[in-house]
Amino acid sequence: MENKKIGNFQAIALILIIIVNHLLLGTPKNLIAQTGTGTILNMIYVFFLSIIFVFILVKLFNNFKGKDILDVSEFLGGKILKVIVGIIFIVYFSLILSTTIRVIVQNLQIIYFDNLHICLLTLIILSTIAIVYKFGSSTVIRCNSIIAPIAAVAILIIAFSNISDFSLDRIYPILGFGAKELFITGASNIFAYSGLAILFFIMPMLKDTNDYKKIAFTANITIGILIVASITSIVLSFPFIDRTSNISSLYMESRDISYWQSSQRIDGIFVFSWILALLSYISVALFFIVTIFRKLTHAKKEFPVVLAFINIIYGVTLIPKSIETVRFLEEVVFKYANISLIIVTGLILMILANIKYYFQNAKHKKEVSINNAQ
């Protein structure tokens, strides 16, 4: 499999596009549902938790320069563990991707394409991805480096364009549903930092592995700014009772923004950037799915693998028959899959691998010491 070396900006953009898409969808709504009017304070608290997570992860990867979680798993438990971890991450990325596509397709259908069947709309989107991948994954990475920052800026523009309508009264009670929900159960809102999962795979792709720490913290801080800004604007813009809409909260904000004339709203621009971000997100998620699969199977050709997974994802996307099932996948499965796999399982594997590395290194030093003494 060919090496794909990427720069720092490209690496950060790969992480950023994941967060951008989830912010454009239901993540803000799910966060607010957990902690109510205290969500702004909760997001600041969760941001510091994410900083701790990234700090620990960077430290754990210090002994595995140029390696990803699959290499670390092989070091820890051999090829069997490597395959198991690889399959788990493929299923994880595929499930999250399918759920995200379904949510976006349903939003687009409600907003603009009410006469277009979900099957056809999904097929159009995935066919577009297949065409993009004809030019190779390097094209996907370069395009994402353009789209991700533009989409991020669009989120910030939407977040603060209605600043004149902000009301500080809407943040009360400031602790939302209470201190316990804010700081204990609310800690589960760290699932919003799902894009950090890319940090487990990005190291071997970097031109300079010494930049891993810089990339990790820069991406984390950027994500934190986007999340806190988005949540702050939504909390201050809408009464809590209005936050149960099935449509993206940021889209609802964009409909209230107007420039020069009241009829010149930017919700159309929002949807356009939304679609671009979606296409880039699908391409990036597929890139990591295909990368993991090829690393496990040593498949030489990329495009046939891409087509195979596009077909799988298309089928999985259409499985849910009701909006309730989609909501369950989005609000429950997505949330706890992120926490259990990225935060818990990922760190446990890295910690155990570092323990094994420590004992092997200590044993090696002892043997060298004995040989030198003889």
DSSP codes of every residue in 177-226: T-HHHHHTGGGGGGGGGGGGGGGGT-GGGBS-GGGHHHHHHHHHHHHHHH
Q: CB of 235 within 8 A of CB of 40?
A: yes
Q: What is the pTM of this model?
A: 0.85
* Domain housing 70: 8-360
Residue 364: per-residue pLDDT: 65
Q: Which stretches of the chain are DSSP H helices? A: 8-24, 27-35, 39-61, 69-111, 118-133, 137-161, 179-183, 212-237, 249-254, 267-297, 303-317, 323-328, 334-338, 346-373
The Cα–Cα gap between 312 and 325 comes to 19
- Is residue 228 a part of any domain in this protein? yes
What's 327's domain CATH number? Answer: 1.20.1740.10
Residue 249: per-residue pLDDT: 53
pLDDT tens for each residue of 221-256: 999 999 998 888 888 877 654 444 554 555 555 455
Residue appearing with tokens 């977040």: 159
The Cα–Cα gap between 144 and 15 comes to 10
Separation of CA 259 from chain center: 32
Residue appearing with tokens 């040593």: 298
Residue 264: per-residue pLDDT: 45
Residues 6+ apart with CB under 8 A from 367: none
Residues of the chain under the 50 pLDDT cut? 1-2, 241-244, 247, 254, 257-264
Number of domains in the chain: 1
- Is residue 365 a part of any domain in this protein? no
- Is residue 64 a part of any domain in this protein? yes
Eight-class DSSP state of 261: S
Residue 167: per-residue pLDDT: 77
3-state per-residue secondary structure call for 18-43? HHHHHHHCCHHHHHHHHHHHHHHHHH
Residue 261: per-residue pLDDT: 44
- Is residue 1 a part of any domain in this protein? no
- Is residue 159 a part of any domain in this protein? yes
- Is residue 368 a part of any domain in this protein? no
